[in-house]
Amino acid sequence: MTDRIPADTVEVHPGTDALVAAAAARFVEIVVAAQAARGSASVVLTGGGTGIGLLEQVRRSPGAIDWSKLDVFWGDERFVPAGDAERNELQAREALLDHVPVDPARVYPVAASDGEYPDPVEAAAEYSATVHAYLAEHGSFDLHLLGMGGEGHINSLFPDTDAVREAHELVVAVSNSPKPPPVRVTLTLPAVRRSRHVVLVVGGAGKAEAVAAAIGGAEPTDIPSAGARGQESTTWILDKEAAADLG
């Protein structure tokens, strides 16, 4: 008997504001439900304009989230100095984390290039140990948020790369990202699949072809977002332009 793969849920919204609002509401819903069921919750954050926009929306409308019982991870990070505006961590702190009473000990950023682990491979190994320790205790992440690039990349998993083909490691270093900056640390598809709920938030006409391919069952090596599967749910939250090729 094979494991059941949850079917995709696809939501289509009229524009960016509605897209971000829906994603933020899903964030709150999953976190509150997890805290009610298990006493705490974990989220894996994404960067990008939409990903940061939804964090700002969550800050404005947090519902019943207990911030002291939330564990925070990142799906990927640009391997740059700690104060660099490119860092997903810095953007997430400015949008949300610096404004809510999270427990600092439960926020797990990827090491910066000017920190204790100046080698990206060592930084990836350190983050992998953190992720493994968390999952050994809790089993799964509750929510993994993902944006998507026009070619279908998620986190820093780009088409036809070693990182997207990784079948065992949960965290790897990327030294030649086709999108700058070239050096990154990323969670892999096996790590994404250790999440109860995966939510992909995608907007824009330039992503419509990749959205349709991913939902249609493309190979993850060609369209990495096709490999993003949650254990309990996989939800695509799209605007009309991104959904244009779905038919």
Q: What is the pLDDT of residues 174-215, one digit of tens each?
A: 999 999 999 999 999 999 999 999 999 999 999 999 999 999
DSSP conformation letters of 58-78: HHH--TT--GGGEEEEESEEE
- Tell me the percentage of the chain whose pLDDT exceeds 70: 97
CA nearest 156: which of 242, 80, 236? Answer: 80
CA nearest 197: which of 25, 27, 63, 47? Answer: 27
- Average pLDDT score over residue span 123-135: 98
The answer, yes or no, to whether residue 49 has pLDDT greater than 60, is yes
Kindly give the residue spans of alpha helices, DSSP state H, lying in the chain: 16-38, 48-60, 88-95, 120-138, 162-165, 189-192, 208-215
Q: Which amino acid is at 2?
A: T
Tokens 């250790």 label which residue? 194
pLDDT in tens, 12-46: 999 999 999 999 999 999 999 999 999 999 999 99
Task: Please tell me the pTM assigned to this model.
Answer: 0.96
Res 247: pLDDT: 77
User: Cα–Cα distance between 15 and 231 in angstroms, integer?
Assistant: 28
